[in-house]
Amino acid sequence: MQIFNNVKQAQDWCKSQKSSGKTIGLVPTMGYLHAGHLSLVRMARQKCDIVIVSIFVNPMQFGQGEDLDKYPCDLKRDTELLENEKVDAVFAPLVRDMYPEGYSTFVQVQGEITDKLCGASRPGHFQGVTTVVSKLFLICQPDKAFFGQKDAQQAVIIEKMVRELNFPLTIVRGPIIREADGLAMSSRNVNLSEEQRKQALILNQALLAAKKEIMAGQRDTEILKQGMRKMIASQPEAQIDYIEIYQADELKDIKEIVGGKIIMALAVKFGNTRLIDNLTVEV
């Protein structure tokens, strides 16, 4: 397994793979890998000749007062996990190489799609995401790039960026991978206390309860959101950021569910740890 820290070396290696006719699958991560990341790696292995995983905690997508300094990192652990998965290359650049002194070029998807959900409470977050992902695409030159459904808004925004900027690649989404008790896997879960970890189970439980209501005929999104809010607020350490229901493909606002796919998305803090989760339902 190749490990690259240098941007040009990684780019040259990817160019050589492409010139030999091989397809490249990229799995972008911020490291501290879990089973959700590894499921994307396995998808990439099935669909592409070469698999490269990027590990980069992108400071540009963290706002002031967020958990950049507390974000878990363990490159040795991550590379061992990836070697076991027979990944071909790891790209783990330094911040100064991705954003050299005087860096001033940004990629931004504008409009309602980035202003809601995580974009509303984390201004500038998605500009940081789309900028770094664009750079990773240009460096690694993937034919397919793999993203998890847990970050559903991120996936929709990146798909839009790829479409509108004519990136020559396909975005592939992998399903949310959950712990046995239903908690969505996240690198941030390690920051939860034992009690917070127990309380966080309410997130998936609230989503499933709302799905049950939809299947029973409830179509008023406000009533559904109120029900989820009441359930989550029953946990003493839960601090709700948002609970929303949108049309799934483009995150359009809906007041009443009339058919098709909808997504229920939420973000909740337990102590200083912010968790997100979502559930797609087809009506």
Provide the annotated active-site residues. Answer: 37
Q: Where are the beta strands (DSSP E) in the chain?
A: 2-4, 24-29, 50-55, 89-91, 144-148, 170-174, 238-247, 261-270, 273-282
Distance CA 230, CA 214 (A): 17
Segment holding 13, helix H or strand E: helix 7-19
Produce one character per residue of 16-48: b if its CB has 16 or more CB atoms within 10 Å, e if not.
ebbeeeeebbbbbbbbbbbebbbbbbebbbeeb
Q: Which two tokens stand for residue 111?
A: 């409009």
Terminal alpha carbon distance of the chain: 45
* Pairing relationship of beta strands 273-282 and 261-270 according to DSSP bridges: antiparallel
258, with CB counted inside 10 A (0-12, 13-18, 19+), is exposed
Rg (CA), the chain: 19
Taking a C-beta distance cutoff of 8 angstroms, is the pair 126, 99 a contact?
Answer: no
> Of 33, 28, 27, 89, whose CA–CA distance to 56 is shortest?
28
